[in-house]
Amino acid sequence: MATSRPAPQEILLPVKPGYIALTLVAALLLNLLPWSGYWLWIRPDFVALVVLYWCIEQPRKMGFIAAWLVGLFMDVADGTLFGQHALAYTVLAYAGVVLHRRVRMFAITPQALHVIPLFLMNDLIILTVRMLGGADFPGWHYFIGSFVAGALWPPLSALLKIPLRPKPDPYHV
Amino acid sequence: MEYQAPPFFKTGPTPLARLLILAALSLVLLVSDGRFHYLAPVRQVAAVILYPLQRIALAPVGIARRIGNFFVTHSSLRTENVRLARENFANEGMLQELKALRAENARLRALLGARQRFGVSATAAEVVYAARDPFSRRIIIDKGMRDEVEAGQPVVDEEGLLGQVTRVYPWLAEVTLVTDKSHFVPVQNLRNGLRAVLSGTGSDGVLELRFVPVNADHQNGDELVTSGIDGVYPPGLPVARVSQVERSATRLFARITCTPVAGVSNHTQVLLLSAQRDLAPRPAEQANPRRKGKARKR
């Protein structure tokens, strides 16, 4: 399509590493909420969402090691095999960094369609690790969370950009 | 001679190299945790760092629960009180009977020269959350190392066996439920004393009796209690009720599904049993190369 133009980029304040860390901790907190029943089925992996967001938005600032470390914390919180989330998030971060130029060409809604396969890949890595470890296939509802995460992509990117908007200069006439 | 301009920005290793290093590290962790269980101390450290976050995440639930408690109506409290009084009365009667039976049992055992049964003490604990891992059935309770919880302790609710403690953190402990796929309980049919091994299936509310011959006498509605021969669970705890028996000549074993007696998916309070076990020393383990790491410790 010749008519499609790159999405207009807002000029935002530079992202501080502390802000990235804060959002990661907040995502971890959301994952730690006591989800149960049907909510557990549709629960998106907030940490994966935030890791991927920063890898696409700020590929130089979001390190793989940060992704790997939050993965380890997820493993401890869930009592799962040590390293399964770490592996999945690292691969996710890599995919985000590799694809960031392409994904950022698009407006925010098509971006969501781009990230859903990445979240599915994230789930698939965890599924593979667990099934190699002898677990059963938990059912197709296991993948619902990835689509929910994709649906949350536009609101999330709007939310994370709020603190980065430059403040209007009060002395500006 | 080929000349390459020095890079403007120092970026460190390429993304692919970093990915490969970290992925390899994760794989090492996975194998050493899954196969050899080396990483318990690392897990402990991470659990301590994570604990405040977990508390913060759970605070809204606690507050909501407290607010809910505040608005309980007078009439519902009264009905509950009446029900509890009635239950208490019934239990008192049973307790007296139990005391007499216990004394009699001790006397008979002494006469027979059999080993005495040991008393079981219980501590109450609260369920903090159910683990979010869709592949396993676990709950996290609010008692840990600080309260002298040990891995292997049986956990029950007011109806029957829930599972056992599998990991202990400083302030929390992880309980694997009977419905977990890797959880096995040696049981006994209450009707005829037949022994069997009950295993979880990974889905809520379904247990399975494993390796039962086709002609074994298990019927719908039979109650299964722990047999106590494993040394983990004290004997006589109700575990499950047989819900479906499928016998087919094409299969080697009968397919017997059971439903757990305890409310495995809806509970807020549980009891941790600590039995003083006095077992015969374990026989020396035979070298068996096919032994999988799934067997629970103890």
Q: What is the mean pLDDT of residues A32-60?
A: 86
pLDDT at A41 over 90: no
pLDDT at B263 over 60: yes
Q: Which residues of B touch A25 (CB under 8 A)?
A: 53
Longest CA pairwise span in chain B (Å): 99
Cβ-Cβ pairs closer than 8 A, A with B, add up to 121
Highest mean pLDDT among A2-6, A21-25, B243-247, B294-298: A21-25
d(CA B137, CA B176): 6
Q: What is the mean pLDDT of residues A97-108?
A: 89
**Which residues, 6+ apart, have CB-to-CB distance to A153 below 8 Å?**
A49, A53, A108, A111, A112, A115
pLDDT band at A7 (very low <50, low <70, confident <90, very high): low
Q: Do A97 and B167 touch (CB under 8 A)?
A: no
From A172's Cα to the closest Cα of chain B, the distance in A is 36
Q: Which residues of A touch B (CB under 8 A)?
A: 25, 28-36, 40, 43, 60, 64-65, 68, 71-73, 76-84, 86-87, 90-91, 93-94, 97-98, 129-130, 133-136, 138, 142
Q: Do B136 and A36 touch (CB under 8 A)?
A: no
Q: pLDDT digits over B210-248, tens only?
A: 888 888 888 898 999 998 887 788 888 899 999 988 888
CB B292 within 8 Å of CB B147: no
CB A64 within 8 Å of CB A96: no
DSSP structure class, residue B260: E
In this prediction, residue A155 carries a pLDDT of: 93
CA-only gyration radius of chain A, Å: 17
In this prediction, residue B294 carries a pLDDT of: 47
d(CA A90, CA A47): 12
CB B137 within 8 Å of CB B129: no
Q: Which residues of A touch B202 (CB under 8 A)?
A: 135-136, 138
In this prediction, residue A142 carries a pLDDT of: 87
User: Which residue on chain B is closest to A92 by alpha carbon?
Assistant: B19
Q: What is the mean pLDDT of residues B56-78?
A: 84
Q: Do A82 and B182 touch (CB under 8 A)?
A: no
- List residues bridging with B161 in a β-sheet: B156
Comparing C-alpha atoms, which of B32, B48, B23, B31 is closest to residue A65? B23
To test the contact with chain B by mutation, choose from A62, A74, A81 the residue with the greatest count of B C-beta atoms within 10 A, namely A81
Q: What is the mean pLDDT of residues A133-152?
A: 87
In this prediction, residue A26 carries a pLDDT of: 92
Q: Which CATH superfamily is domain B118-277 in?
A: Rod shape-determining protein MreC, domain 1 (2.40.10.340)
In this prediction, residue B295 carries a pLDDT of: 46
Considering the entire predicted model, what is its pTM?
Answer: 0.79
Q: Give ipTM to 2 decimals.
A: 0.81
Q: Do B30 and A87 touch (CB under 8 A)?
A: yes
pLDDT at B278 over 70: no
Q: Do A34 and B57 touch (CB under 8 A)?
A: yes
Q: Which residues of B touch A77 (CB under 8 A)?
A: 50, 54
Q: Which residues of B touch A87 (CB under 8 A)?
A: 23, 26-27, 30
- What number of H helices and E strands is found in chain B? 3, 12
Query: What ranges do the domains of chain B cover?
Result: 15-70, 118-277
Q: Which amino acid is at B109?
A: R
Q: Do A77 and B167 touch (CB under 8 A)?
A: no
User: What's the sign of the alpha-carbon dihedral B79, B81, B87, B93?
Assistant: negative
From B100's Cα to the closest Cα of chain A, the distance in A is 44
Q: pLDDT digits over B35-53, tens only?
A: 887 778 888 888 888 888 8
Q: Do A34 and B22 touch (CB under 8 A)?
A: no
pLDDT band at B297 (very low <50, low <70, confident <90, very high): very low
